[in-house]
Amino acid sequence: MRDTQVLREALTYAATHGLAVLLPAQDPFLSAGCAHEGAVATRLGLSAIPDSAETTELARLIALARDTGARVHAGPLSSAAGVAMLRQAHRDGVNLSAHTTSHHLHLSEAAIDGFDSRAHVTVSGSFVLEGDAKRMPFGETAAGIAGIETLLSLMAELVARDVCDWPSALARVTVGPARALGLAAGGLSVDAPADVCVFDPRAHWQVEPEQLRSQGHNTPFAQWTLPARVESVRLAGRAFAPGPS
């Protein structure tokens, strides 16, 4: 929402009714590029996205959340500067939470270094696109990847690297998001919906894009061998096929 006055009024209304508001943490004008600003983007001749694309919008959201008292959730964050701003907002008592994505934790613009700028690959975004949307030169292709089926395994990879432990990793994809949005979800308790994922943390699987069950098969993790193979999934008690692993 570009009109800050309208956004402020919306947040004031949301605060009155105890509603959480989810907003992107990217300035749409500064984030029009396709790679993080730096040596890689310059060398490949790609349009760049500076850290200020994130911090400019995040500063606006922090100020409005402080003014209105609304519960605001922003993201995805991908810069150290953005994380520092979030920490300061928490110290100041601002009711603002944020998220990143599993692929932001594993990849940076270095992942495209060495690729021809016409290569059909992107590591930004977190939504699925059909094949035709990705069959363009790198700088023109739409941003987005199939991320649901690799989420758990990428968190498991962080555990394997001692970046975090299992309770912390799982909390960030279950109860953490639920708490940020004020939802009674993300955990196991009596009379709660049986949303359960059973996985083997020691079993590995190889990411084969064509075997992904998502509508789109675009992923920067093709042929990666990842830990934590899913054995079964239940949503509200209903069983679903576990996926390509």
pLDDT tens digit sequence for 176-235 = 888 888 888 888 888 888 899 999 999 999 999 888 887 778 888 999 999 999 999 999
In this predicted structure, what is the pLDDT of residue 114? 61
- The three-point CA angle 102-107-113 to 5° equals 160
Domain presence at residue 58: yes
Supply the range of the domain harboring residue 63.
1-100
Comparison of pLDDT for 225 and 132, the residue scoring more: 225
For residues 85 and 63, give the distance between their C-alpha atoms in angstroms, rounded to a whole number: 11
Q: How many C-beta neighbours within 10 Å does residue 238 have?
A: 9
In this predicted structure, what is the pLDDT of residue 156? 94
pLDDT at 148 over 60: yes
Domain presence at residue 38: yes
In this predicted structure, what is the pLDDT of residue 195? 92
* Lowest-pLDDT range of 10-14, 52-56, 121-125, 143-147: 121-125
Torsion sign, CA atoms 153, 155, 161, 165? negative
Domain presence at residue 139: no
Q: pLDDT band at 71, cuts 50/70/90?
A: very high
Domain presence at residue 116: no
Domain presence at residue 85: yes
pLDDT digits (tens, 9 = 90+) for 78-129: 999 999 999 999 999 999 999 998 888 888 888 767 654 432 222 233 455 6
Residue in 21, 11, 6 with CA at minimum distance from that of residue 181: 21
Domain presence at residue 67: yes
pLDDT digits (tens, 9 = 90+) for 158-186: 999 998 899 998 998 888 888 888 888 88
Domain presence at residue 16: yes
Number of structural domains (the chain) is: 1
For residues 64 and 13, give the distance between their C-alpha atoms in angstroms, rounded to a whole number: 12
Give the DSSP letter string of 21-67: EEEE-S-TTTT-SSEETTHHHHHHTPPEE-THHHHHHHHHHHHHHHH
Q: pLDDT band at 134, cuts 50/70/90?
A: low
Residue 119 C-alpha from the chain's centroid: 23
Domain presence at residue 131: no
For residues 149 and 128, give the distance between their C-alpha atoms in angstroms, rounded to a whole number: 11
Element at 227 (helix H, strand E):
strand 225-235
For residues 243 and 198, give the distance between their C-alpha atoms in angstroms, rounded to a whole number: 12
Q: What share of the chain is helix, strand, coil (3-state, %, to 5)?
A: 40, 15, 45
CB 169 within 8 A of CB 153: no
Please, which residues bridge with residue 72 across strands?
Answer: 21, 96
Average pLDDT over residues 126-134: 60
